[in-house]
Amino acid sequence: MSDRYASFANTAPGRTLVKRLGLPDPPRLRRYRLGDPLLPGPALLGAAPEGRLAKAVEEILTGAGVEVGPPDAESRQAAEPASGPTDGERSQRPAALIFDASGIADSTGLRALYDFFHPLARSLGPSGRVIVLGTPPEECDSPRAATAQRALEGLTRSIGKEFGRGTTAQLVYVATTADGPAAATLVSLESTLRFLLSGRSAYVSGQVIRIGAGAATAPDDWVRPLSGRVALVTGAARGIGAELAKVLARDGARVIALDIPAAGDELMRVVNSIGGEAVQLDLTAADAPVRLARHVADRHGQLDIVVHNAGITRDKTLGRMDPARWDTVLDVNLSSQERINEVLLDRDLIRAGGRLIGVSSIAGIAGNRGQTNYATSKAGVIGLVQAMAPVLAPREITVNAVAPGFIETRLTARIPVMLREAGRRMNSMAQGGLPVDVAEAIAWFASPASGGITGNVVRVCGQSLLGA
């Protein structure tokens, strides 16, 4: 489904009109294309005193081919003049601002953030990246330190709303010991930085990500991190699932694409385009978990990645909702996932180092009129992530979910026009996301390098105002 307004607003006459009338101004987002460098310009790195991460971050970025520097007079001067930047100025602009706030031990120390970001705030290039690194508040050794670390969230969420032009801003809490972060934590930090700095995270902003010390392996090739992995994607015939199958295959995975028999033709088109395999199965059928388990055991032995993407809506206000609408939505979106997980885990069909990934929704966070059934199921997906992550940690299986906002698919094309237009614009990017945006976030969770990331729910919503 195309966003005609955004296309028009990005033409020369469109830009003029949008500016004159003060209309929403959706920027063209930098999205990942194979062969792209991680960043289109340099990253500026700063740190508060006692920070434990800046050195490691510098090494990671330099190793990934990013030009890293401390903020200097030149980059500060690149701050946008009143008339707007010229092309020459634009190319010198920093593409990312990264600040290690992990050492801030009380609220007065937060001033270091102002000192770093204030002179640079207007210097960032289009689709810029802001990342603040912190210590998880629950790991701080004093209430004052925990208070200061929790305060970081207000800064990053506000920058996401303020900087504009496709800038994203995230807070990444990194677990550390007295000796600094563990080696595995640094691998997961690298995986996360590569995701957040690249165009893969174009529609992810205002998020808080937690990285722990779970086992993580750096891939031989960061361009194909899923090489040799087997991934199951449910609901893969179209929309987000179809795009996800393509992205996981692009990253090197062998993809088992599952959908209902009625979507068989669409499913075959997806599978043929990526050299994957199709499983036609209704997830709600009583024998679905066992049939799926048999397929996995016979063909692959075990799975590395399971993405529960299949989902449906059957909207009605609660007083008018028949029981069938409630039951089918809860069963497809939540209960069938639990049944499948149980059988796959009981039969040891998910390898150590496995990745379980759910697809929630901002409706599961904020609630939505007419969607009590859907929002209940999607909040349940978040509950599943939180409950299962500690249970599966000893097996080195991570459990995470994405929560998409307004994504341009058939599901959202059915929304009445005024509501649809509001959903598209009510976020920091002033536009809907694309299925590939959700797929890229899932691929990041799926990476063998992301083993320290578990129990996270990351919204892919352009920092939607809903449930913010």
Q: By CB under 6 A, is residue 384 in contact with ligand NAD?
A: no
| Separation in Å, CA 184 to CA 180, 388, 448 | 12, 21, 11
β-partners of residue 402 are 359, 458
Pick from 1, 151, 268, 312: which binds ligand NAD (CB under 6 A)? 312
Tokens of 255: 């993809």
Q: By CB under 6 A, is residue 260 in contact with ligand NAD?
A: yes
Pick from 283, 397, 401, 430: which binds ligand NAD (CB under 6 A)? 283
Residues touching ligand NAD, count (CB under 6 A):
27
End-to-end CA distance of the chain: 25
The one segment of 124-132, 220-228, 314-322, 399-407 that binds ligand NAD by CB under 6 A: 399-407
CB 438, min distance to ligand NAD, A: 7
Could you tell me which residues come within 8 angstroms of residue 196 by beta carbon, excluding any fewer than 6 positions away?
Answer: 129, 131, 168, 170, 172, 204, 209
CB 398, min distance to ligand NAD, A: 19
Pick from 259, 304, 437, 440: which binds ligand NAD (CB under 6 A)? 259
Pick from 123, 409, 447, 454: which binds ligand NAD (CB under 6 A)? 409
Whose Cβ is closer to ligand NAD: residue 155's or residue 283's? 283
Instruction: Please identify which residue in the block is written with the tokens 């600040």.
Output: 99
Instruction: Please identify which residue in the block is written with the tokens 């063998």.
Output: 448
Pick from 4, 33, 320, 410: which binds ligand NAD (CB under 6 A)? 410
CB 204, min distance to ligand NAD, A: 14
Whose Cβ is closer to ligand NAD: residue 75's or residue 313's? 313
Residue environment code for 64-99, b if the CB has 16+ CB neighbours within 10 A, otherwise e: bebebeebeeebeebeeeeeebeeebeeebbbbbbb
Whose Cβ is closer to ligand NAD: residue 194's or residue 424's? 424
CB 152, min distance to ligand NAD, A: 27
Whose Cβ is closer to ligand NAD: residue 251's or residue 259's? 259
How many of the other CB atoms lie within 10 Å of CB of 386?
A: 13
**3-state helix/strand/coil string of 12-26:** HHHHHHHHHHCCCCC
Q: By CB under 6 A, is residue 404 in contact with ligand NAD?
A: yes
Tokens of 428: 């920091």
114 assigned to active site: no
How many of the other CB atoms lie within 10 Å of CB of 154?
A: 11
Whose Cβ is closer to ligand NAD: residue 153's or residue 331's? 331
Quickly list H helices, 123-282: 143-162, 183-197, 239-250, 264-274
DSSP conformational letter for 426: S
359 touches 401 (CB < 8 A): yes
Q: By CB under 6 A, is residue 134 in contact with ligand NAD?
A: no
Tokens of 254: 């062998």
Pick from 238, 351, 355, 420: which binds ligand NAD (CB under 6 A)? 238
The one segment of 30-38, 61-69, 143-151, 278-286 that binds ligand NAD by CB under 6 A: 278-286
**From residue 325 to residue 364, what is the string marking binding to ligand NAD with x (rule CB under 6 A)?**
-------x--------------------------x-x---
Whose Cβ is closer to ligand NAD: residue 289's or residue 353's? 289
Q: By CB under 6 A, is residue 196 in contact with ligand NAD?
A: no
Q: By CB under 6 A, is residue 46 in contact with ligand NAD?
A: no
Q: CA nearest 242: which of 383, 442, 406?
A: 442
Pick from 67, 80, 277, 282: which binds ligand NAD (CB under 6 A)? 282
Whose Cβ is closer to ligand NAD: residue 172's or residue 267's? 267
Sequence-distant contacts of 179-184: CB under 8 A, at least 24 apart: 180/52, 180/56, 181/52, 181/53, 181/56, 181/213, 182/213, 184/213, 184/214, 184/215, 184/216, 184/451, 184/452
Q: By CB under 6 A, is residue 240 in contact with ligand NAD?
A: yes
Measured CA to CA, the distance from residue 262 to residue 264 in angstroms comes to 5
Q: By CB under 6 A, is residue 284 in contact with ligand NAD?
A: yes
The one segment of 21-29, 197-205, 310-318, 343-351 that binds ligand NAD by CB under 6 A: 310-318
- Report the residue count for the chain: 468
Active site residues: 374
Enumerate binding residues for ligand NAD (CB under 6 A).
234-235, 237-241, 259-260, 263, 282-284, 309-312, 332, 359, 361, 404, 406-407, 409-412
